[in-house]
Amino acid sequence: MSLINIDSKYKLVKSWNLTHQKKTLIYYPKKKEQFKQLIKHFNKSDIKFSIKSGECSYDGKSINSRNSNVTVSLKNFNKIININKKNNTVNVQAGAKIKDISLILKKINYTISAIPGGEHITIGGAVSANVIGKDSNKIIGAFGDNVKSITVMMHNGNIGHYKKNSKIFKSFIGSFGLFGIILEVELILKKIKSQNLLLSTFAIGKYSEIKKFLNKKTEFKYMQIDPFFRENTLGIVFTANFSENKANLYKSINFEVNLIDILIFKFSSLFLNLFSWKIFYKFFIFFNRNINKELDIHNFFYSSKYKHLVPYLCKNGLTDYEILLKYNKLMKVLSKIKKLILENRLYPIYVIIKKLHKSKNKYFI
């Protein structure tokens, strides 16, 4: 079967943390019919393939297996289909980046919940990985709680549309595309009071203060801990609430990374050791303590392009761990992490703590 008018090219695909990479033939379908044509061709020729959208997957989640070098990109499936203010929903294609969708919605005083901080994360990727955000709460514990309905291409090429009350609906949330390829998603919108946030930071110096600030009622919150667990400068708490200020505080951010940016981070890695990293965190906590300022909600989530350059600080890429645990075991686990770091003379890039509320859907991860 010939693949007519479907763009393709060979390209090196990398995981976000740079621990996996592979050269692969990438197809860029523009319509559902082209996507269906690809699937039928792959099935007939027994070709294994992977799906790529935002290039934000850790490790090898979106990298082809050893016996495959074919990838299908959702880059062209990147549009908002419809915004329904009456029902507070938005229909959007899976390849659209969340940062772009959020910026459009913000202009009409709407947002979606559980927004992740990676500027290249797509809607489809966020649903497939069921990501969390700084604003996760009891109603929206994870990104999948936003989803009202979903359009999926099954592995036989058939396309199905499933609502939240469907039995098969839950199979596509947090399943990394194993049960079907997400094409479109209907998301629940949240009306916001303002396009701006009032950001506050607090320095903490005791373990006992961790739970105190995690329990504090705010619209957004997370905590960055000094990875060497020094109790005199244990960490910084970031909290934010919607501001009454109606002024437009938005400042555009250039997310493009060039060779000079990469070389600077590579050069910085030469000086990375236990001592230099301890010094860095001393300055980080000093300059970020006791800040109160207003900023645009978009800049709160996507304040810098440089976090995507962090893996270049490590020679073989950045290894990342996420731990989900019961809230009452937090201190016990932090003590184990501290012991692991000290005994093995590790220098973690960062330790982030978020209070993750249990999702309404028990099938969510």
Res. 3 pLDDT band, cuts 50 70 90: low
Query: Is the pLDDT reported for residue 9 higher than 80?
Result: yes
Question: Coil, strand, or helix at residue 266?
Answer: helix
Question: Coil, strand, or helix at residue 238?
Answer: strand
What residue ranges define each of the domains in the chain, with the CATH number in brackets? 7-73 (3.30.43), 80-191 (3.30.465.10), 196-353 (no CATH)
Please give the structure tokens belonging to residue 352: 């982030």
Cα–chain center distance at 17: 13
Report whether 180 contacts 51 (CB < 8 A).
Answer: no
Please give the structure tokens belonging to residue 338: 């501290």
- b/e per residue, 214-224, with b = 16+ CB within 10 A? beeeebbbbbb
Query: Is the pLDDT reported for residue 251 higher than 50?
Result: yes
Angle value at C-alpha 266, between 261 and 268, nearest 5 degrees: 95
Look up tokens 């390209």; give the residue: 11
Provide CB contacts within 8 A for 11, sequence distance 6+: 23, 24, 26
Which strand ranges, in their side-by-side order, compose the sheet holding 147-153? 80-84, 89-93, 181-188, 147-153, 159-163
Looking at every residue in the chain, the average pLDDT score rounds to: 86
The identity of residue 210, as a single letter, is I
> Residues 221-231: pLDDT tens digits?
889 988 888 88
Report whether 326 contacts 213 (CB < 8 A).
Answer: no
Report the pLDDT value the prediction gives residue 365, as an integer from 0 to 100.
34
Report whether 215 contacts 247 (CB < 8 A).
Answer: no
Look up tokens 């962090």; give the residue: 310
> Residues 76-92: pLDDT tens digits?
999 999 999 999 999 99
Report the pLDDT value the prediction gives residue 75, as an integer from 0 to 100.
92
> Residues 48-75: pLDDT tens digits?
888 888 777 777 777 777 777 888 999 9
Report whether 202 contacts 237 (CB < 8 A).
Answer: yes
C-alpha torsion 288→292→296→301, nearest 10 = 40
> Residues 255-269: pLDDT tens digits?
888 999 999 999 999
Beta-bridged to residue 26, according to DSSP, are: 9, 71
Tell if the pTM clears 0.75, that is, is over it. yes
Cα–chain center distance at 310: 15
Look up tokens 């075991």; give the residue: 329
